[in-house]
Amino acid sequence: MGEFDVVVIGGGSGGSAVAGRLAESGKTVCLLEAGGRNTGLRVTTPGLFAVPNPGANYMYETVPQMGLNGRTGYQPRGKGLGGSSAINAMVYIRGNRWDYDNWAALGCAGWAYDDVLPHFKQAEHNTRGESEYHGADGPLWVSDQHYANPASLAFVEAAAQLQLPRNDDFNGARQEGFGVFQVTQKDGERWSSSRAYVEPLRGSRNLDIRIGVTVQKLVIEDGRVTGVTYSVGKRTRTVSARGGVVLSAGTFNSPQILMLSGIGPEVHLRENGIQVRIDKPAVGSDLQDHIDYVSSWQSENTQLIGSTFAGKLRMAKALIEHRRKRTGIMTTPYAEAGGFWKVMRDAPAPDIQWHFVPAVLEDHGRTKVKGYGFSLHACVLRPESRGTVRLASRNAENGPSIDPNFLADDRDIATLREGVRMSHRIAGSPALQAFDPRDRHPVDLNDDAQLDEMIRNRADTVYHPVGTCRMGPGDDDVVDPKLRLRGVENLWIADASIMPRIVSGNTNAPSIMIGERCAQFVNEALGR
């Protein structure tokens, strides 16, 4: 079959939601995905996501970052059905009410918190049941953790010892506080967006799933997107869309595909020998990401997750338990607990998020550290620095050039500096001191210059890039509040790239909500 009502590019967090909902509504949908199905044990077993899985991860690198003392950053991105929801830490966070009300204040009508809450609930199957803030009948399972390390519980207690409030629902009435995260798991297994929206429809006549393909460009005729050209190996094919195309390839690849199709900054396109169809400087611009610093401590406490013979044996036994019962340590998201708090007086909402990991983490887990310990992420929730995504070449097989421009704005390092100080205050509380921790990267926390230098030498992303196809009310914005691309008909974008401002938290749940909304917009445009 070469013609469909809708072609969806990318089966990640947003794309799976769009494709599934449109197919359910009776539309014929072709879903194009570069990776595979992502149904193996390395994906479905939560605790195995710490093991590198190149088949499910683009493993991008940034250009050298001046704000990180010339270092290149690591940018893991999901490849395959489920996208980054198949490789992430499964933390279910929506962001803060203020984020969405601010989107509306920026001119994104229909995106205030009260507008988006029903769509979060529509997507959600929360095992706690339905409530004012949660849904219980949606396809995306959200669960309390089956197992939490004693150190993760001690982290929450340590925060409480500093008079920081507990919070057992970061997606409820208030975000502030510290607690154990809920996760996107069902019965102890990872529940990606693909498992929620796509796999239940496998075999449906309405949904044609094509994996292992590389999108070359959009087919544009007389100002309308009519299809997609893609390659499988050395063969090139075109699939037609009667109603339109939804681009959901993610914050890095969605602008790349637009630029390869002639939609983007005119000068940059001409430099790459690409015919300019629409001069749109905002495509690939306004990149925002949560800059993150990981403090870590060594410990001799064997309750922690450790890279020792005994620790590895324990995890091997845990894997056997998980295969038999779907319980135990292998259900861990590693980032088991966390918190949200204001460290700057003028912040309208929490400006730092913490993720506590009951293991020593170095260089995104790529550098193995022997022994036991724990780590504490602190990330800036609303950074002011802005970066870009540009073409590295005209070859769609090559990744784009990614420049987050981390810590270019002094306000970001000022906020992160206070977040790191708070991390050490929490680690210094009696509940965590009981683990007899030893700081792996000691520094004079009262010396701004020393602390800033350590941050610039060690900070990097916490994996939440957004904004490169921003939504807004103006002609200079990439998409309008109905997620339609400005300047061409029959093209929608549904992923984190449309966020006009980054949300105050993890981005998987908001991306799925965006997919839910886009499906609604497409159905309204094409007729249900």
Kindly list the catalytic residues. Answer: 464
Collapsed DSSP state (helix, strand, coil) of residue 274: coil
Strands 401-403 and 207-211: unpaired
Task: Give the C-alpha separation, 65 to 451, whole Å.
Answer: 18
CB 247 within 8 A of CB 258: yes
CB 80 within 8 A of CB 32: no
Q: What is the separation of C-alpha 184 from the centre of its chain, rounded to a whole number of angstroms?
A: 13
DSSP state of 164: P
CB 146 within 8 A of CB 328: yes
Burial of 425 per CB tally in 10 Å (0-12, 13-18, 19+):
middle
3-state secondary structure 278-345: EECCCCCCCEECCEEEEEEEEECCCCCCCECHHHHHHHHHHHHHHHHHCCCHHHCCCCCEEEEECCCC
3-state secondary structure 51-84: CCCHHHECCEECCCEHHHCCECCEECCECCCCHH
How many helices (H) does the chain have, and how many strands (E)? Answer: 13, 24
Q: Which of 88, 328, 37 is nearest to 188 (CA)?
A: 328
Q: Which of 343, 321, 481, 480 is nearest to 414 (CA)?
A: 343
Strands 29-33 and 207-211: parallel
Task: Give the C-alpha separation, 496 to 515, whole Å.
Answer: 10
Task: Give the C-alpha separation, 523 to 526, whole Å.
Answer: 5
Backbone angles phi, psi at 358, to 5 degrees: -80, 45
Collapsed DSSP state (helix, strand, coil) of residue 253: helix
Q: Which residues are paired to 225 by β-bridges?
A: 220
Q: What is the DSSP string of 332-397?
A: --S--EEEEE--STT-SS--EEEEEESS---GGGTS---BEEEEEEEEESS----BEEE-S-S-TT
